[in-house]
Amino acid sequence: MPPAHPVVRKVYLDLPQPSLKDNTADLDRLKKQVRQTLAIENLLVPFALIPQWVSLLRSSAYRVTASVSLAPPIPRLIDVEAGATSSRLFGLAVDLGTTRLAYQLWDLREGRLLDETGSDNPQIRYGADILTRIHRAGTPEGLQGLKEAVIGEINRVTQTLCQVHNLSPREILAVTVAGNTTMTHLFLGLDPSSICREPYIPKINSLDPLTAQELGLDLHPRAWAYVFPNVGSYLGGDVLAGILHSGLYQQEGLSLLVDVGTNAEVVLGNAEWLIGCAGAAGPALEGGVARMGMTAAEGAIDRVRIDPRTQELTYTVIGGGRPVGICGSGLIDLTAELFTAGIIDLRGKLNRKKAGRRWTETDGQPAFLVVPAEETAHGQAIVLSQVDLDVLLRSKAAMYTILTTLTQTVGYDLKDIERFYVAGAFGNHIDPRRAVILGMLPDLP
Amino acid sequence: MPPAHPVVRKVYLDLPQPSLKDNTADLDRLKKQVRQTLAIENLLVPFALIPQWVSLLRSSAYRVTASVSLAPPIPRLIDVEAGATSSRLFGLAVDLGTTRLAYQLWDLREGRLLDETGSDNPQIRYGADILTRIHRAGTPEGLQGLKEAVIGEINRVTQTLCQVHNLSPREILAVTVAGNTTMTHLFLGLDPSSICREPYIPKINSLDPLTAQELGLDLHPRAWAYVFPNVGSYLGGDVLAGILHSGLYQQEGLSLLVDVGTNAEVVLGNAEWLIGCAGAAGPALEGGVARMGMTAAEGAIDRVRIDPRTQELTYTVIGGGRPVGICGSGLIDLTAELFTAGIIDLRGKLNRKKAGRRWTETDGQPAFLVVPAEETAHGQAIVLSQVDLDVLLRSKAAMYTILTTLTQTVGYDLKDIERFYVAGAFGNHIDPRRAVILGMLPDLP
């Protein structure tokens, strides 16, 4: 189904031929028809392209296809092509995660998702965590390197996506980019240092729509490029994109959106009001902190079940192969199942007797054997130690505190929440029922 | 007096300092204050300048001067400077004549004309008349050469003007350019060939406002640059500028605007309606056609008087030196005086007896001696031959025909015209009373 409010449209124009009775100038003839067809008042035309486009009008006998971006604040003419090309119109959406980049390729004429994929954020080589990257961005070369790394990666993946779907990157006429405030700054080549220093002021929150060329993206050079605005230093464009996508802002009842990544961002509200909050979700949910923790990539255990009767443990692995580690959602799943099975007690301590033959030790600490060495990809056992568990429980406490504080601030109780949205790379894999059992997310009616 | 509706404004901003209670991002802080101060809804910010400007905000303790172009369709941020610079704000107006370029330098803060000057249009070396230039513009090199010639000349003269007034071209934040349709095309680098071929369609009439940089003008690179729109192939932006400047479009009574150059453009109307017409004014009014004809430059006789009693002839010369030739307005003046003195009869023929000792011959044709050889700059006599006179009278007839046709088309008579405006390089020097005597311009009540 074609989108109801497209940001970019292509219109085929069979313009009236010039005559002594209609001596409208060539470009004015084109603009007039586009404005009438799309019912718009203004239409900006890039000056440098005018000589080329007026020649094209004549050589194609005034039958052309015009591509127009319609988004506020002002419509723009993106391109003019000879003849009818209006069936080819594509869009790209990019999620700038600290760890992973996610992409969606859309057919904008049909409003249809063609493909989605992800790739590691290559800025990781400048530092796995955001603070290290902010530090590296303190020099012009560092900032430039961080910017080029992420833009180069987007261009590389886009090229591949286009090849798979037999289209040219030039046929992508719209691109949206959303990330947290720091990732957005690095993507734009803006020094993010002020974000982590009091009074925590970003360099920019709202950008005017740009062109792909201005951003360095290898799409149609004048493709409409929208970078989601940030709300503040710790509520970024990715959260706004989540609010938009979830439809939370249109709900009558109270809803909650949780975006769990390095930080947890939480938005509470309905069609009338929204309140947002960000806080450290705790290191347990980041890859590399728990002993066998990893990001939600191939080889990560993302779901765990323990049979209540037989105590038998089963798990699923992203990609289907042998496990390498356990990702954030797998960790929550595992902990919830261990608690249900009584292997973790109310104080959060591992119970040696209940763990049975899965009881083990690592670095002198009690631990639970998740996968024996002979079943893993690397031949090392995957275990959950008491230390890992303590960190996870502190994260859980942090998360619960964020939620409680936020709802109480506006005079509500967690029980008042009617709808629950979970976003983020972590959210893609989380099983909300497990998070509820863990007490990380509130019970919903 | 400051202009009532400035197209460009400078505003000094002492922005609220960032704090934990006001964590608006740097650029958003700036935009918000500019929008409030100028009462505008939108403000486009050039993306490439954002890193530089947000750094400047911090290094100047959030005390900056913003330059903003306010003209439709959308306000734009031109520049951000540290501290208070709002007293420096200049504008340039350029008239693109086929033969001469005219310039005005304005102080836009005070709404005061600082200087005006003129220079020869260097495109003359590609061809003195417009048709030759259109032909030369038929190749990309020719078109580029014509464009660069006029832009180079504007840059050269602007540089000189700025030096005289002790300002930098970068302080010029607004520029307007008006010319006939062909001159405008050449200035923009657009092939004008379609203008002189049926159905006489220009490539473009209306342009969005541009930046000086896009046009190749060495002013502030992002100076607001407005090229007056053309009405059609033979009614150009210069006529629109004339209508605007004269105020004809605001008059209740019927007014007539005549812009005499290579072509004569005539606009008739009032605050309710306007009708325009263009026609060949005849070669008599172009420099180089009459035997001693020349453009209205230094050395040209621009006014002539013949004492009704003594028949003594006096004249004035542009620049005050010895005469070189006679310009269009001088020719009209001379002919009107000769007619009043009876030296030209009703049929337009020179009367040998009345001419007396000024009777002479040139190339076997009767002629009138205007300035003897010993009084001219080049030692050759300046004469008006019967051939020159015949051409002039045909021009006069053409002009009168244009006026009569135009007024009759809308059901009026020349006598209904209440106000009369004369524009163009020619108009600067014409004495309307003489043109009336000649029958070139209508008698007004």
Among A31, A74, A206, beta carbon nearest to B28: A206
Chain B interface disruption, residue of A59, A184, A203, A227, most B CBs within 10 A: A203
Find the CB nearest A210 among B27, B47, B191: B47
For A23, the closest of B42, B47, B200 (CB atoms) is B200
B4 touching chain A per CB within 8 A: no
What strands, in cross-sheet order, belong to the sheet with A63-69? A8-14, A63-69, A76-82
Alpha-carbon A268 to chain mean position: 19
Question: Is A372 a residue whose pLDDT tops 90?
Answer: yes
DSSP 3-state of A291: coil
pLDDT value, residue A173: 98
In the structure, what pLDDT confidence band is assigned to residue A140 with cuts at 50, 70 and 90?
very high
Do the chains contact at A214 and B74, CB–CB below 8 Å? no
- Contact criterion met (CB < 8 Å) for A208 and B18: no
* Contact between chains at B23 and A199 (C-beta distance less than 8 A): yes
**Among partner residues A31, A51, A201, which is closest to B190 by beta-carbon distance?**
A51
**Are A188 and B50 in contact (CB < 8 Å)?**
yes
The strand pairing partners of A410, in sequence order, are: none
- Cβ of A45 and B214 within 8 Å? no
Q: Under an 8 A CB cutoff, do B205 and A28 touch?
A: yes
Q: Give, in order, the Cα–Cα distances in Å from B173 to each of A48, B146, B220.
A: 21, 25, 6
Residue A303 pLDDT > 60: yes
> Mean pLDDT across the stretch A228-252?
92
- How far is the C-alpha of A34 from the C-alpha of A28, rounded, in Å? 10
Residue B18 to residue A201, Cβ atoms within 8 A = yes
Query: When comparing pLDDT for A281 and B230, which is higher?
Result: B230
| Other C-beta atoms lying within 10 Å of the C-beta of residue A428 | 13
Q: Are A203 and B44 within 8 A, CB to CB? A: no
To the nearest whole Å, the CA of B261 is away from the closest chain A CA by 23
- Residues of chain A with C-beta less than 8 angstroms from the C-beta of B191: 51, 55
A19 to chain B nearest CA, in Å? 5
A213 close to B (CB below 8 A) = no
A25 vs B27, B191, B201: nearest CB? B201
> Chain A: nearest CA to B154, how far in angstroms?
20
A198 and B CB contact within 8 Å: yes
The verdict on a CB contact (< 8 Å) between B204 and A230 is no
Please name which of A383, A353, A347 lies closest in space to residue A367, comparing C-alpha atoms.
Answer: A383
Average the pLDDT over A251-257 and give the result: 92
Chain A with chain B: Cβ pairs closer than 8 A:
117
Average pLDDT (A312-323) is: 92
Calculate the CA dihedral of residues A154, A160, A161, A163 and round it to 10 degrees.
140
Cross-chain Cβ contact B200/A20 below 8 Å: yes
Question: In chain B, what residues touch A73 (CB-CB under 8 Å)?
Answer: 42, 44, 74
- pLDDT for A419 equals 87
Question: Does the distance separating the beta carbons of B203 and A54 come in below 8 Å?
Answer: yes
Q: What is the pLDDT of residue B288?
A: 43
* B183 closest CA partner among B228, B221, B220, B246: B228
Looking at the complex, does the CB of residue A201 fall below 8 Å from at least one CB of chain B? yes
Task: Find the CB nearest A199 among B20, B45, B55.
Answer: B20
Q: What is the pLDDT of residue B316?
A: 93
- Partners of A189 on chain B (C-beta within 8 Å) are 51
- Between CA B95 and CA B110 the distance in angstroms is 22
CB contact under 8 A, B47 and A23: no
Residue B445 has a pLDDT of 46
A194 lies within 8 A of chain B by CB: yes
Closest-CA distance of chain A to residue B192, Å: 11
How does strand A224-227 pair with strand A172-179?
parallel
When scoring A24, A28, A80, A206 by the number of chain B Cβ atoms within 10 A, the one with the most, hence best to mutate, is A28
Question: What pLDDT does A432 receive?
Answer: 61
* pLDDT for res A5: 80
Query: What pLDDT score was predicted for residue A428?
Result: 54
pLDDT score recorded for residue B287: 45
Which CATH superfamily groups domain B90-239?
A: Domain of unknown function (DUF4445) (3.30.420.480)
> Residues of B with CB below 8 A from A19's CB?
199
Q: Show residues of chain A in contact with B208, CB under 8 Å.
A: 44-45, 47
Name the minimum distance, in Å, from the CA of B47 to any CA of chain A: 7
Chain A residues in contact with B51 (beta carbon < 8 A): 189-191, 203
Whether A18 contacts chain B with CB within 8 A: yes
* Residue A445: predicted pLDDT: 46
Q: Say which residue the tokens 């094209």 belong to.
A: A56
Nearest CA in chain A to B31: A206
Whole-angstrom distance, CA of residue A202 vs CA of residue B315: 72
Q: Do A191 and B51 touch (CB under 8 A)?
A: yes
Closest residue on chain A to B72 (Cα): A42
**Could you tell me which chain A residue has the CA closest to the CA of B58?**
A203
Instruction: Give me the amino acid identity at B246.
Output: S
Q: Is-contact A375 A299, C-beta < 8 A?
A: no
Task: Kindly indicate whether the domain formed by A247-445 is annotated with CATH number 3.30.420.
Answer: yes
Where are chain A's structural domains? 8-82, 90-239, 247-445
Beta carbons of A277 and A402 less than 8 angstroms apart: yes
Mean pLDDT, each 10-residue run in order, chain B (445 residues): 83 93 93 96 95 95 97 95 92 92 94 93 89 92 97 98 97 97 96 91 94 98 97 91 92 88 83 88 51 78 89 91 87 87 90 92 90 92 88 79 87 87 62 62 56
Can you tell me the mean pLDDT for A199-205? 93
Peptide bond into A73 cis (omega under 30): yes
Contact with chain A for residue B61, Cβ under 8 A: no
**Mutate which: B204, B205, B214, vs A, most A CBs within 10 A:** B204
Cβ–Cβ < 8 Å for B329, B335: no
Give A47's contacts in chain B (Cβ within 8 Å): 207-208, 210, 214
pLDDT reading at A110 higher than 60: yes
Tokens found for residue B33: 């204050």
C-alpha atoms less than 13 angstroms from C-alpha of B247 in its C-beta half-sphere: 4
Provide the 8-state DSSP code for B230.
P
* Distance from the B206 Cα atom to the nearest Cα atom in chain A, whole angstroms: 7
**A283 shares contact with chain B (CB less than 8 Å):** no
Of the two residues A431 and B355, the one the predictor is more confident about is B355
Q: Does A193 touch chain B (CB under 8 A)?
A: no
Same fold, A8-82 and A247-445: no
CA–CA min distance A77, chain B (Å): 12
Contact B25 A188 (CB under 8 A): no
For residue A282, the cross-strand partners are none
Got the DSSP string for A162-231? HHHTT--GGGEEEEEEEE-HHHHHHHHT---GGGGSTT---S-S----EEHHHHT-SS-TT-EEEEPPPS
CATH topology of domain B8-82: Ubiquitin-like (UB roll) (3.10.20)
pLDDT digits (tens, 9 = 90+) for A30-73: 999 999 999 999 999 999 999 999 999 999 999 999 999 999 99
Q: Which of residues 65-104 of A touch B (CB under 8 A)?
A: 73-74
